[in-house]
Structure 1
């Protein structure tokens, strides 16, 4: 994947300074997803494994909203007419988007403003870091359309971010929460007035850091969910030893010894 030449059909893509920005770009409908955009997003995050020039990723929405979820007319309507095999194909594809987001080595920063609902809330959840504009309204609203809260990994991932009880309330009720509550519960890292600028600043800062080590941190955050503390410590010992073999580790020491800031190169 050449990030400078990549030209997706279903969202906007910008790349500069090691930061790729994915902008959901249907502002007149609050950026809903279609079958095609789900698939293209999944394929893009899968391809990022093979895009070393991309150091970090921002995902956001155009027109003051993040994402309103699956398009009511282009997804929800057709789903009501599908058979079981077709429905499972769809739900597997949407889950594969989350797997691809968690599997790509780059840290993902979600810049959330306005509406962030359904699959939009899931994409924010699946990101590594989340920043909120003051007007952000987030809802895992699956029960509002007669579905369970068990969608695209929500029952596994959301409790790990905000706790089981809080996740249960949101997934059972489908209610929305604002930026203040989201920050208080730990869903959002920060509330910022200019979420696009702050997301770019954060992503740029991460892009200039030790990207091999960032990828290792992301991998271990997921890998250690279901292991004992002793096993996690052993896993981290092996991971850190691998990072200590990188030139970035040596560069950091050499910079410290020379009383200057290190310049990391990701190897």
Structure 2
């Protein structure tokens, strides 16, 4: 393959998403930090069939985006997300046959897969209500900032469903522990911001007025780092769940060798030798 053919092939697998026009939520990109705003504040930002699907498709595209290196997701107003819209989602589901119900549950699960598969770190800024599928969005993010008024609730048992939705039984225990996860998934009760922080669900609690700014600052700090290597870190954090320790050590050896071949690794050494701070470019 010639260099020009390779360039053409790679160009076909690169996207710029700064100009993306979201239909079912807010979207903006500033200095390689993308911000997703769930923006139905009058109903505490519930999800619909359409917003589920668009979020899934957008996170899939992020795997090829060259102008987005970190993502912040938050809710408009004083709440994060109240889950699936009762009228737009739950009511229609009652009348669907099993094959179509399975299409829906696989689609919502695909959103979590897409969030985990995209190389960008995803930071959830959680204020107020964070319930049902909204709690799943926060759970599927790589880091979470909360407030003292955050209310985390996995409400599935309250509507006659199992707590094993969108990967909750696999992911939540790894974040807060098996017993605490079991309590939330069985009872559907709300956990306060202080509880969520003490349990490790939130990385830290922020003042509500500064929450989104703090999340965007954290994202900007990540963007200033070796973003290719961050993508490898994210991949390994998820991939190693199903590995033995020996497999994980070998896999990390391969991953680190790949990172050692990047220009950012060279930049870090040159900066160290020059007693200056490295400027990473993500390649």
Cα deviation for residue 246 of structure 1 reads: 0.3
Q: Which residue pairs with 1:89 in the alignment?
A: 103
Pick aligned residue for 2:155 from 130, 141, 154: 141
Matching of residue 185 in structure 1 with residue 215 in structure 2: no
Q: Aligned match of 2:224 in 185, 188, 208?
A: 208
Tell me, yes or no, if structure 1 residue 100 matches structure 2 residue 118: no
Aligned mate of 1:27, from 25, 41, 44: 41
Q: What is the aligned length? A: 267
CA offsets 1:22-78 (integer angstroms, 9 cap, x no match): 000101000000000000000000000110210100000001110000000000000
Alignment map for 1:1-80 (pairs within 5 Å): 1-80=15-94
> 2:264 aligned with 1:248, yes or no?
yes
Shift of residue 3 of structure 1? 1.8
Task: Please point out which of 180, 183, 196 is paired with 2:212.
Answer: 196
Distance 2:177 2:258 in 1: 32
- Alignment partners' CA distance in 2, 1:246 and 1:102: 23
Name the residue aligned to 1:119.
133
SS at match of 2:67: coil
Map of 1:168 onto structure 2: 182
Give the conservation status (yes or no) of the 8 Å contact 2:33–2:72. Answer: yes
Matching of residues 145-156 of structure 1 within 5 Å = 145-156=159-170
The alpha carbon displacement at 1:2 in A equals: 2.3
In structure 1, the residue corresponding to 2:279 is in which secondary structure? coil
How many Å separate the matches in 1 of 2:44 and 2:205? 21
Q: Gaps spanning 5+ residues in structure 1: where? A: none
- Give, in whole Å, the separation in 2 of the partners of 1:92 and 1:120: 17
| Displacement of 1:259 | 1.0
TM-score normalised by L of structure 1: 0.99
Q: How far is the alpha carbon of 1:227 from its aligned partner?
A: 1.1
Q: Which structure's CA Rg is the greater one?
A: 2
Give the equivalent residue in structure 1 for 2:4: none
Please name the residue that 2:248 is paired with. 232
Contact 2:79 2:127 in 1 (8 A): yes
Whole-angstrom CA distance in 2 between matches of 1:12 and 1:254: 40
RMSD: 0.6
Taking structure 2 as the reference length, the TM-score comes to 0.94
Structure 1 residue runs of 4+, over 4 Å off? Answer: none
